Amino acid sequence: MDSEYGVLKDVLLCSPQHYGWVPINSVVKEKMTENVPDVAAAMSQHDEIVSAFGETGVNVHFLQPQPHLVFQSDTRDSSQMTPWGAAILQLRHIERRGEYASVIDFYRSKGIPIPLMSSKGTIEGGDISVTKPGLIIVGYSGERTTRDGAEEFTSLFKKNGWRVHLQPFPEHFLHLDVIFSMAAENLALVCTEVLPDSFIDLLREEKIRIIPVTYKEAMDLGCNVVSLGNDRVMTSRHNRSVIDKLRAEGLKVVDPYFPEFAKGGSGIHCLTMPLKREPVAA
């Protein structure tokens, strides 16, 4: 996989049958004082996501859910597909560390090589953007991804001639995908109120056009999208203002509805790990 926007062919999900909340982020800490997650609703909404992928021609694969891993449905964080195979990542919180086991089992069962198993610092997939062929961007706040974890992960790309950009950001936002993601080829959703001018300049130098996203939209997971390729993008139906911006750019928007996950701080980018995209490099 050499980009975030090549036509998506295969994706890795995990059933939320053991979905729950553990106070490991500010959104969950707030919600835990108000209510508890509705697992039946989460299951139904996850089924809608699975159906949406199927209707767009994406093959869906599943991890084996474990009852003690309540955030396992956030498949984005535990691994990252690279052009050379799957990297196994080092999650920050002890409550999620066990997610690596079923991920390794999955990749081995499919004969997918594992060129890197992170062991230095921490790194989570929500901070990783395989932005375009030859360029990878990794965010770090010290909360989920540390700089040394980012450096170890990106060493795989550096030795293969890729340019690497490491972007610090405030830990309040948890992951980079809250404030930045690729929506299509040379088109990104960016919270310009938060990311510095130097980051904006980098994107412009790379000929990546910017759809500005406000702080409020970002906190409502407006940047948290998955490109399906061929000018198609998936996001949550509740992100009306961002959907309007995407459509104004000529994109077809696929918009399943999954508010139970959004309550816990998870968007569609969090809930998916792309396994295979059509290559876009010449």
d(CA 91, CA 89): 6
Q: How confident is the model at residue 281 (pLDDT cuts 50, 70, 90)?
A: confident
Task: Indicate whether 138 belongs to any domain.
Answer: yes
- For residue 175, is it within any domain? yes
Please report which confidence band the pLDDT of residue 28 belongs to, taking 50, 70 and 90 as the band edges. Answer: very low
> What local confidence, expressed as pLDDT, does residue 34 receive?
58
Three-state SS for 138?
strand
The 10 Å Cβ neighbour count of residue 219 is: 17
62 part of a folded domain:
yes
The verdict on residue 2 lying in a domain is: no
Cα dist from 6 to 77, 274, 277, 280, whole Å:
20, 10, 5, 6
Per-residue burial over 107-138, b = 16 or more CB atoms within 10 Å of its CB, e = otherwise: beeeeeebebebeebbbbbbbbbbbbeebbbb
Residue 20 lies in a domain: yes
Domain that holds residue 248: 8-277
For Cα atoms 264, 265, 270, give the angle at the middle one, nearest 5 degrees.
115
List own/partner pairs for 93-102 with CB under 8 A and 24 or more apart.
93/22, 93/24, 95/22, 95/24, 95/70, 95/71, 96/24, 96/69, 96/71, 98/66, 98/68, 98/69, 99/69, 99/71, 99/72, 101/66, 102/14, 102/63, 102/64, 102/65, 102/66, 102/72
- Find the CATH number of the domain harbouring 84: 3.75.10.10
Per the domain annotation, does 282 fall within a domain?
no
CA atoms within 13 A on the CB side of 69: 21
Alpha-carbon distance of 77 to 93, in angstroms, equals 11
pLDDT at residue 24 greater than cutoff 80: no
Judge whether 164 and 156 are in contact, CB under 8 Å.
no
Is residue 177 predicted with pLDDT exceeding 70? yes
Better pLDDT: 211 or 33: 211
Q: Rounded mean pLDDT of the chain?
A: 95
Structure tokens at 208: 């990546």
Q: What is the pLDDT of residues 139-174, one digit of tens each?
A: 999 999 999 999 999 999 999 999 999 999 999 999
Arithmetic mean of pLDDT, 21-50: 75
The reported pLDDT for the residue numbered 183 is 99
In a domain, 238, yes or no: yes
Tokens of 153: 């992960």
Residue 32 has pLDDT above 60, yes or no: no
The arithmetic mean of pLDDT across residues 34-50, rounded, is 91
Number of domains comprising the chain: 1
pLDDT of residue 31: 43
Q: How confident is the model at residue 22 (pLDDT cuts 50, 70, 90)?
A: confident
- Give the span between the Cα atoms of 49 and 261, in whole angstroms: 11
Query: Is the predicted pLDDT of residue 108 greater than 80, yes or no?
Result: yes
Place of tokens 């009306």: 240
Tokens (6 digits) for 82: 């690279």
27 pLDDT higher than 60: no
Is 270 domain-assigned? yes
